[in-house]
Amino acid sequence: MFPKPYSLRLYVPSDLGADLGVVLDKGQSHYVATVMRRRDGDKVALFNGRDGEWIGQLQEVHKNHCLVHVTEQLRPQIEEPDIELLFAPIKKIQTGLIVQKATELGVASLQPVQTQRTNAERLREDKMALQALEAAEQCERLNLPTVHGLIKLEQALAALEPDRTLIFCNERLSGNSPKEVLSNLPSSEKWAIVTGPEGGFADEEIEMISARPNTHAISLGPRILRAETAVFACLSLLQAFQGDWV
């Protein structure tokens, strides 16, 4: 395996292109100069979700200010699957794990939902956004998922576009093999997944989700999964049968 031509990878909102200069914000500058101890001349990778991934050379490295001279493109921007994740937040550490791993697995949108059995501390949208950003930097994604604030389950379902195919992970369901359901669905440009809280969905919530048009229920096997594990399992299945793992 060839070594990477850079030592760090950072998300920046700035435009990227050959011979452009990018000024890192104070937090990134502190991270680069003080935490990672990078120096003038070191190379970093930059991405912004629009212009692909670029190599840049560090200049003027200070703890409050860093300049990057952008030199060449490593990868062009590519279109990623449009997958929206509706998930019930759980305990702080596990919710952070959901944000991190869902980002690694390629979700485009993270929508926490309030269900009857949701029992979690108050969510900090800014913290979730930072967790998603850090995960995207580490897993070499070319964009960031959109992070939304907590809303009620019924509001989240109503906000889904009619042509967005919804995959319902119903832990009480027997049969409905994920392979058979997902492999036989027509291709779609818009997908969504809904997973429940610890203890599962209430009966009326199951009925509400199932009644939505363009919704397909799948089983996640003979064992009851933890809420965060169900998220990872369903995202992996969708990416394998209909996403960019195909």
Residues 79-98: what's their mean pLDDT?
A: 94
- Output the pLDDT for position 174: 67
- Do 19 and 133 lie in one domain? The reply is no
Task: Provide DSSP, 40-68.
Answer: TT-EEEEE-SSS-EEEEEEEEEETTEEEE
Predicted confidence (pLDDT) at residue 92 exceeds the cutoff of 50: yes
Of 106, 112, 108, residue with least CA distance to 82: 108
Of 104, 237, 223, 118, residue with least CA distance to 168: 237
The answer to whether the beta carbons of residues 190 and 165 sit under 8 Å apart is yes
- Do 115 and 236 lie in one domain? The reply is yes
**Domain region containing 32:** 8-75
Distances (CA, A) of 8 to 66, 84, 187: 13, 29, 36
- Do 201 and 152 lie in one domain? The reply is yes
- Output the pLDDT for position 1: 43
Residues 167-189: what's their mean pLDDT?
A: 86
CATH code of residue 178:
3.40.1280.10
- Do 137 and 28 lie in one domain? The reply is no
Residue at 246 is within a domain: no
Of 75, 96, 117, the residue at which a domain comes to its end is 75
Q: What are the tens digits of pLDDT across the range 4-54?
A: 778 799 999 999 999 999 999 999 999 999 999 999 999 999 999 999 999
Q: Which of the four pLDDT bands, split at 50, 70 and 90, describes residue 2?
A: very low
- What total of structural domains would you count in the chain? 2
Identity of the residue numbered 114: Q
- d(C-alpha 174, C-alpha 185), whole Å: 19
Q: Which of the four pLDDT bands, split at 50, 70 and 90, describes residue 121?
A: low
- Do 32 and 61 lie in one domain? The reply is yes
- d(C-alpha 198, C-alpha 196), whole Å: 7
Residue at 97 is within a domain: yes
- Do 111 and 226 lie in one domain? The reply is yes
Q: What is the mean pLDDT of the chain?
A: 93
Predicted confidence (pLDDT) at residue 146 exceeds the cutoff of 70: yes
- Do 15 and 121 lie in one domain? The reply is no
User: Residue 11 has which token pair?
Assistant: 């998300």
pTM (predicted TM-score): 0.92
Q: Please give the distance of CA 121 from its chain centroid, rounded to a whole number.
A: 21
